[in-house]
Amino acid sequence: MRTLFMAAVMLLMSMSTATADQSETPYLIAQGIGQIEVIPDELHWEIDLGNTGSEADKTMRRHLEIITEVRAVLKSFNIREDEIVASQVKFGDNWKYTKRGRKRAGYQANSHFSFILRDFSRYDSLMIILSNVPIIRTIEVGIDHSERVRFVKEAILLALEDARTKAVAMAETMGVCLGKVYKIEPQTAVPWRYSQPHRGGPAGPIGVKVSDTQSLIIDKIAFDANVTVTYYLIE
């Protein structure tokens, strides 16, 4: 009812403007909402690794050894090589800060890993293994769907249908006819849910509940779309 009232107000404002300037055509603005709910089929992992040491070569060598071990573990979980992405590799001085200023305390090596796990049944095993890697500082897991692009498009189409249904109802109420579309302004909300950074054991990401036995119970995720459609009116 509130939506209908607001639309009627916008309609009257547009029609009054058109009266002042006959070159303008009255119009109606309608908003539509569409939503597609799906079961996620991908777990997106983000891992930060970091270690320190007193000697530069040993610090970096240890870091590279752990990276090799992590890659081997991921391959054993049938994670594709091209979906294991290492980025943001950094190496430099390790500084400690005190009241008197900063003091160099050896060296530090840091890197970031991301990959996709599609076999949800192996979540617990992989999380436990990675949580016991000493130089892994944080682990974040997000849920997603491999066909997110298709679902976003479907949500937009539902939103357009919703907007037209509302526009037709409002036009009939005002005693006018709906004309062609003047413009469409889409807005989509693509879900991306992460767990809080954690260490020391399994923890489920938001939207993926973990039972007492750490088994995953998958919730649906929603792909939302909102559109604002402006229609010409025919009096």
CATH of domain 2-37+147-234: 3.30.110.170
Dmax over Cα atoms in the chain, in whole Å? 82
11-68: pLDDT as tens digits: 444 443 344 444 478 889 999 999 999 988 999 999 999 999 999 999 999 999 989 9
> Is 110:50 a contact under the CB 8 Å cutoff?
yes
> Is 166:32 a contact under the CB 8 Å cutoff?
yes
Q: Round the average pLDDT of the chain to a whole number and report it.
A: 80
Which phi and psi (to 5°) does residue 191 adopt?
Answer: -70, 140
Q: What is the pLDDT of residue 189?
A: 62
pTM (whole model) above 0.85: no
88-113: pLDDT as tens digits: 888 888 888 887 888 888 999 999 98
| CATH entry, 42-144, from 3.30.70.1150, 2.102.10.10, 3.30.70.2970, 3.20.20.70 | 3.30.70.2970
Q: Is the pLDDT of residue 138 over 90?
A: no
So where are the chain's domains? 2-37+147-234, 42-144
Q: What is the pLDDT of residue 15?
A: 43
Q: Give the Cα-Cα-Cα angle 130, 134, 136 (nearest 5 degrees).
A: 55
Q: What is the pLDDT of residue 94?
A: 83
Q: What percent of the chain has pLDDT over 90?
A: 40
